[in-house]
Chain A
């Protein structure tokens, strides 16, 4: 790493065949990943999925069991963390308590013997609107202010790659929204490559250009937020990124436009270009907000899937929308989000209803339904380790 100069621009990050095994369990299993320079990349997954380990590997705080890490084409696998042109915004912020805010921000500049470290530190503090608190100690600041100092301390070094380890986790909702926008603006202004690790799917979708959904040490699916949301490839992605209604059944027929699936005796059609599998037992899904509730059976229409009748078993009002839980015999429980366009609701608990959606909104998953893992939220590392032990025995 060149001392005394800033990175000209963001650098690509390339992970090649990364494995990381801890005693008792495998945190990362054959991870291959390329993050193009200048992009805002989010690693999304439940706790214990290996995303923080990935970040620590890139930062140089852990060494991979196997595999290589390339930064802007250079192999940095064997470099120590202080030699890598990478900075991290830690989840705990880790601001030095024995230094002022200004000295915290100037720390990295001083280590690299940059000219005028204090001026540069003041400049970045102005960017995060905290210059007036430069002489305070970190512990005298609020959580949101500390978070901004942590961000300033990292970006002042103009790293080729900035790592963000759930830095917004400790903030309240309003402040988090504000910081998300600020981060995005800074990333665009400064043109750095951001790698953001989070378990908050909404945060990942608002901020990132590309999201990789991680589960049990592997990447389940990677793509733009809309793509992942519209066409999830696995049931894990379908349920981790938003909610999904999933059904499993045999394929009855295929046309050039769509495949029809038998779900509890009712024919459901999915566009063929939105289905990952086209024969045998397949799992299909549709997002709750794409569903419409009807109190009488809707008229037949080739462009619409209808399911029902079912019973409303729960109604909950959440401001913008109302969430209905509908039990359709044989198909299971469906979640329906209906926008509150009129005052009051005309569907009540216990009502008999039909559910419909436009064929174009359905999607078919790539999972083998027989071994499709049911979505199990928030498996922590210990549980995963325990599972591996059981499986191994």
Chain B
């Protein structure tokens, strides 16, 4: 369903393979099916069962028995609803900024740089380059840059752009900044792949039909690059909503910026309240699934043709 957004032509191909499902095809699919059953379906079922567990009657902390304690869900929602809302708010803001930054970049690499293939490849390598360094290290580096004693922050304070007692780390700004920074390549690459195939003759036709450059962009370029926009925003929004590194206190976050990922982490690893962590995970997953389906249905399928 949501995956249709990542490819423009899955439907006819799938219909084709389904018609001639030979034993060979099944055999080739077997490793994939086994992998999914073992490492996706099993944990999912286990998570679902855990989320309904009740505390063991005479047990220690972290000991639970199988039950159908649906109150777990009510409890986590009433306790953690600010974190849930904050998560989606941060993720949405980060996705928005990533799109605003990535679209011109992808347009430049995919359309404007077509005449210089060397520049195109170089720019693409630069987009991917951050992946050569660990995600954690890069985020820690930003923590250094934003720390109270850093050159950047002291300079900003010196010119009174920041109040003397202000902090950058631990604020919503630094968390959203971290999310945006870390997910930009996931936005840029799908945008690049659609824009790289964008036929500029459509843009010329739009201009020939009295559309100003802005109208050509709004009425022709944007709709034609919709598959890339949908894929990029999904690849950014989904992991950003569940991210627990950027918002963590050890990295760019603080006590007031905890996201749902941090709460799940704390419930599983610190509080050992497995049912609560599991229930939160299930809630996060379903919320993302619902949001994404609405999004794909609204912006995607009709325009993806």
Contact = CB atoms under 8 A, between A and B. Distances in A.
Interface of A: 59-61, 80-82, 86-88, 90, 92, 94-98, 107-108, 111-112, 137, 139, 153, 157
Contacts of B226: 98
A59 B208 contact: yes
Contacts of A92: 201
A82 B305 contact: no
B215 interface: yes
22 contacts: A59-B208, A81-B204, A81-B207, A81-B208, A82-B207, A82-B213, A87-B209, A88-B208, A96-B205, A96-B220, A97-B202, A97-B305, A107-B209, A107-B211, A107-B219, A108-B210, A111-B209, A111-B210, A111-B212, A111-B215, A112-B210, A139-B305
Given A112-B210, A157-B210, A90 B205 contact: yes
A94 B201 contact: yes
Contacts of B184: none
B303 interface: yes
Size bracket of the B interface? 20 to 34
Nearest to B226: A98
Interface string B54-65: 000000000000
Residue from A61, A139, A157 with most neighbouring chain B CB atoms (10 Å): A61
B224 interface: yes
Given A92-B201, A94-B201, A98-B303, A107 B208 contact: no
Interface of B: 199, 201-202, 204-213, 215-216, 219-220, 223-224, 226, 303, 305
Given A81-B204, A97-B224, A108 B209 contact: yes
Contact of B205 (A86, A94, A137, A139): A94
Contacts of B305: 97-98, 137, 139
A96 B223 CA distance: 10
Nearest to A163: B208
Contacts of B212: 82, 111
Nearest to A91: B201
Contacts of A139: 305
Given A94-B201, A97-B224, A98-B305, A111 B211 contact: yes
A111 to B, nearest CB: 4
Contact of B223 (A59, A98, A137): A98
B202 to A, nearest CB: 6
Contacts of B202: 94, 96-97
A61 B204 CA distance: 7
Nearest to A103: B219
Contacts of B224: 96-98
Contacts of A88: 205, 208
Contacts of A80: 207
B9 to A, nearest CB: 12
Contacts of A96: 202, 205-206, 220, 224
Contact of B207 (A61, A95, A112): A61
Given A81-B207, A81-B208, A157-B209, 8 more contacts: A60-B207, A82-B212, A86-B208, A90-B201, A94-B201, A107-B211, A108-B210, A111-B210
A88 B209 CA distance: 8
A111 B213 CA distance: 12
B114 to A, nearest CB: 16
A112 B224 CA distance: 22
A112 B199 CA distance: 24
A40 to B, nearest CB: 20
A82 B210 contact: yes
B126 to A, nearest CB: 27
A60 B216 CA distance: 15
Nearest to A59: B208
Nearest to B210: A111
B149 to A, nearest CB: 53
Nearest to B199: A94
A6 to B, nearest CB: 12
10 closest cross-chain pairs (CB), A and B: A108-B209, A94-B205, A111-B210, A98-B223, A94-B201, A81-B207, A111-B211, A88-B208, A82-B207, A82-B210
A108 B216 CA distance: 11
B199 to A, nearest CB: 8
Contacts of A153: 209
Nearest to A153: B209
Taking each of A59, A97, A98, A157, which has the highest tally of chain B beta carbons within 10 Å of its own beta carbon?
Answer: A98
A1 to B, nearest CB: 8
B182 to A, nearest CB: 32
Nearest to A81: B207
Contact of A107 (B201, B204, B206, B213): B206
A90 B201 CA distance: 9
Contacts of B213: 82
Of the listed residues A87, A88, A96, A112, the one surrounded by the most CB atoms of chain B closer than 10 A to its CB is A96
A92 B205 CA distance: 10
Contacts of B206: 96, 107
Nearest to B303: A98
Most B CB contacts (10 A, CB to CB) among A60, A94, A97 go to: A94
Contact of A94 (B204, B215, B216): B204
Contacts of A82: 207-213, 216
Contacts of B210: 82, 108, 111-112, 157
Contacts of B208: 59-61, 81-82, 86-88, 90
